[in-house]
Amino acid sequence: MLGKIKETISFLEETIPFKPEIGIILGTGLGGLVNEIAIHHEMDYEKIPNFPVSTVDGHHGRLIFGILGNKKVVAMQGRFHYYEGYNIQDVIFPVRILKFLGIKYLFLSNASGGVNPEFEIGDLMIITDHINLIPNPLIGKHYPEFGVRFPDMEQVYSKDLILKVKKIAQKKQINVKEGIYTATTGPTFETPAEYKYFRIIGSDTVGMSTVPETIVAHQMGLPCFAISIITDLGVPGKIETITHEAVQKVAAKAEEKMTVIMSELISML
């Protein structure tokens, strides 16, 4: 693992124009943020040594370096999922790379299915905590360079960043929810019984990403902020047939609000 990281870092440092301060994983709903970045350099994942390649529709597969909110950022336009068949270490490999490139914060977004009966399709939910049902990415050989062997998980999502976003949302009159995100392997959407189960165990929404990345970022000392778009509902009486295309359409409608929140947050740091 360390050998691969060093090889990838060496390649990128010879290519990139600067040392980034902020890392952004442009999951569902944040694609429009690319248009706000003054891009200095970009490259396809397939050209980066040891990098996985995005296989999901809507995840373009590019690493973008540029300026946003007067900050030097690196953005992943497309993430990796366990359900694509990747080893969990491949899924989180880019987060390790971003940390070693020098980022001080990590921001993430995703699409998810709401199980909180107070949620509606199109809502934005700040992730305050999570339940992980994907294999833990810290299983396996421990490298002290990554952080402690047994990270405390009391505060994975930065309370300071959450407070800043709540102030931004209030100022911009953007309605945001808060809640607990449950990560599952996918790629199936949930059955009605599974939706009920997730609500019983404390979930507000459920998805197939984000948590492995934040676990690794937290181990490495990176403050994280993550936000979900509620693209479908797993609430009794509101469950309808869902497709990936439908999820993308709902996410596209929320894109402008997500972009405003992230741009403003980066400007405040």
Look at the chain and report how many structural domains it folds into.
1
Beta carbons within 8 Å of 238's beta carbon, 6+ residues apart: none
**For position 253, what pLDDT does the model report?**
77
**For position 31, what pLDDT does the model report?**
75
**For position 55, what pLDDT does the model report?**
63
Beta carbons within 8 Å of 148's beta carbon, 6+ residues apart: 219
For residue 139, the Cα-to-chain-centroid distance in whole angstroms is 20
Q: What is the mean pLDDT of each run of 10 residues along the chain (269 residues)?
A: 91 91 85 87 92 66 92 92 91 96 95 93 95 96 95 96 97 96 93 94 96 98 95 79 72 83 92
CA dihedral 241, 231, 107, 143 (to 10 degrees): -20
Query: Helix crossing, 211-219 with 88-101: angle to 10°?
Result: 50
What CATH number is associated with residue 29? 3.40.50.1580
**For position 234, what pLDDT does the model report?**
83
94: left (phi over 0), alpha (psi -120 to 50) or beta: alpha
Structure tokens at 217: 């970022």
Beta carbons within 8 Å of 103's beta carbon, 6+ residues apart: 20, 21, 22, 23, 74, 222
**For position 57, what pLDDT does the model report?**
55
Domain that holds residue 237: 2-268
What is the reported pTM? 0.92
Residue whose pair of structure tokens reads 């997500």 in the numeric block: 258
